[in-house]
Structures are given as structure tokens and as C-alpha cells.
Amino acid sequence: MRLDMRGKLCPLPVIELARHITDVEVGASITVVADDPAAATDIAAWCRMRDHELVSTTDESDATAYEVRRRH
């Protein structure tokens, strides 16, 4: 699953991630694409607090893609 959150300011990318994490199976990933620099800190902190895994952070041409694996 891929959530395109370009143009959305934090906390909206994290809110949508939290809303959709249960849409994928345990062990599967969601990719959040965001252009708000605060998303880097917010998504990493959310993963730590909710015990999910931030698998990768990839720079794209106009945003950053955060791959989050559901752990439970």
C-alpha cells in the first residue's frame, strides 16, 4: 500500500499511517510518501511508540518515501 501525502503537513502523514496500518497484514508494509521535512521525525517516532518497523527511507524527486512494516 502506498499513501501519497505530498502537500500535507504533519501530523497528517502520521495520522493517515496510523489509520491505514491495519489495512495491511502483519509483516506487510505501507509506504508513506511525504514532502514535509517533519515527517522524517514524526514517522520514526510513531514507529518506535507503536512498535512497528521503519524499514527504509528513500529520497524521490520531490518527496521522501518511508516504508513501514506492520509488526502486530
Dist. CA 40–CA 33, nearest whole Å: 11
Concerning whether 10 is annotated as a catalytic residue, the answer is: yes
Q: Which residue among the candidates 4, 10, 12, 40 is catalytic per the annotation?
A: 10
Identify the DSSP state of 11: T
The whole-angstrom separation of Cα 58 and Cα 54 is 11
Instruction: Give catalytic residues, as residue numbers.
Output: 10
